[in-house]
């Protein structure tokens, strides 16, 4: 159980908005040193100013988490300023929808670059630092939280590229947890699987790099964008609520973190189908009107 946060160091990617920003705010209240990472300079500057005003030590870096060299430099900067971090929130993420065969190579490279490779870089760079700190200090406690999604446990249609990236994060984090269990009692991991929560992810194309510019959106991508905007904006659980769940889970070394446990019925149906070897269940069984609406929209393109 982790009970001490004051004076500890946390690295947070995607810290300019959403879960990353709310976790940083909680960290500031707890007196933590904060490493803020975001690709959007104005949001990063605003977050940095807020945390400095709260009286905590801050290191802010504008970084594309998919960039291996930039992330390696970040790890070096963190080590030089604070030493090994105690907490790492691999949180940066982007969203993209559309029928899976309509996604371009650039779509895949952008989404997998941020959602998966960003987590990969965070894990491969910071875990060795944390393990070295644990070996040097028996009182050291570390924890890594990777942000996946309920889409990492389900396969909702018309958002396949996002599903693939988040399933990979779940698998990566489950394996990280098991690997850490083999080598240490002092460092552990959790995976965050939020459902629809009002954050900026549905507008993440605002930060899409020019070299991976999107083609003209297809009809299915426009439909997916509209659905995502509506679902995310209508969420009743706030990003601040989810951040509190994350800190509670770290305190209790809880692995799976859910914003909407009521959505687990769909996960159970999927898992039962896998075990029984039957075809994937209807993802809209609980809300057939949504499935019919999407089906009609896609067939009338």
Q: What is the pLDDT of residue 235?
A: 62
Answer yes or no: 162 catalytic.
yes
Helix axes 41-53, 18-29, angle to 10 degrees: 20
Give the gyration radius of the chain's Cα atoms: 19
Quote the tokens at residue 101: 């065969």
Instruction: Identify the pLDDT of residue 218.
Output: 84
Q: Which domains does the chain have, with CATH numbers?
A: 9-261 (3.40.50.720)
Mean pLDDT by 10 residues, the chain (301 residues): 88 95 97 97 96 97 97 98 98 92 94 97 98 97 97 93 97 98 97 79 67 79 77 74 95 94 92 97 86 87 73
The answer to whether the beta carbons of residues 89 and 145 sit under 8 Å apart is yes
The reported pLDDT for the residue numbered 37 is 98
> Which sign does the torsion angle of CA 208, 210, 211, 213 carry?
positive
Query: How many CB atoms lie under 10 A from the CB of residue 271?
Result: 12
The pLDDT value given to residue 233: 63
Q: CA–CA separation, 103 vs 100, rounded Å?
A: 6
Q: How far apart are CA 90 and CA 76, in angstroms?
A: 17
75 alpha-carbon distance from chain centroid: 19
pTM of the model: 0.92
* Count of Cβ atoms closer than 10 Å to residue 210 Cβ: 5
Instruction: List all residues 6 or more positions away from 131 whose beta carbon is below 8 Å from its beta carbon.
Output: 183, 184, 187
Burial class for 62, CB neighbours closer than 10 Å (0-12, 13-18, 19+): middle
- Kindly name the residue from 162, 177, 195, 258 that is annotated as catalytic: 162
Rounded to 5 degrees, φ, ψ at 257 are -120, 120
CB atoms within 10 A of CB 255: 13
For residue 286, the model assigns a pLDDT of: 80
Which among 206, 264, 199 has a CA at the least distance from the CA of 234? 199
**pLDDT of res. 154:** 94
pLDDT the model gives residue 17: 93
Asked whether the beta carbons of 151 and 162 are under 8 A apart, the reply is yes
């Amino acid at each position: 159980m982790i009970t001490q946060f004051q004076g500890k160091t946390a690295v947070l990617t995607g810290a300019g908005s959403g879960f990353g920003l709310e976790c940083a705010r909680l960290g500031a209240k707890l007196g933590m040193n904060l490493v803020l990472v975001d690709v959007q300079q104005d949001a990063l500057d605003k977050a940095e100013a807020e945390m400095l005003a709260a009286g905590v030590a801050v290191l802010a870096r504008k970084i594309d988490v998919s960039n291996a060299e930039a992330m390696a430099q970040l790890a070096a900067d963190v080590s030089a300023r604070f030493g090994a971090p105690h907490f790492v929130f691999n949180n940066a993420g982007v969203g993209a929808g559309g029928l899976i065969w309509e996604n371009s190579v650039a779509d895949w490279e952008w989404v997998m670059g941020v959602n998966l490779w960003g987590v990969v870089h965070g894990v491969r760079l910071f875990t060795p630092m944390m393990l070295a700190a644990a070996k040097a200090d028996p009182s050291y406690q570390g924890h890594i939280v990777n942000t996946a999604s309920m889409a990492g446990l389900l396969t909702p249609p018309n958002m396949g590229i996002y599903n693939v990236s988040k399933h990979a994060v779940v698998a990566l984090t489950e394996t990280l947890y098991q690997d850490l269990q083999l080598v240490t009692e002092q460092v552990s991991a959790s995976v965050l699987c939020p459902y629809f929560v009002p954050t900026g992810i549905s507008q993440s194309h605002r930060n899409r790099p020019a070299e991976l510019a999107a083609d003209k959106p297809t009809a299915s991508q426009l439909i997916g964008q509209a659905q995502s905007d509506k679902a995310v904006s209508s969420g009743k659980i706030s990003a601040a609520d989810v951040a509190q769940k994350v800190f509670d889970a770290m305190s209790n070394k809880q692995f799976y973190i859910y914003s909407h446990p009521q959505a687990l019925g769909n996960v159970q149906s999927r898992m039962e189908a896998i075990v029984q070897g039957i075809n994937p269940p209807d993802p809209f069984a609980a809300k057939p009107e949504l499935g019919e609406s999407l089906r009609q929209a896609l067939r009338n393109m």
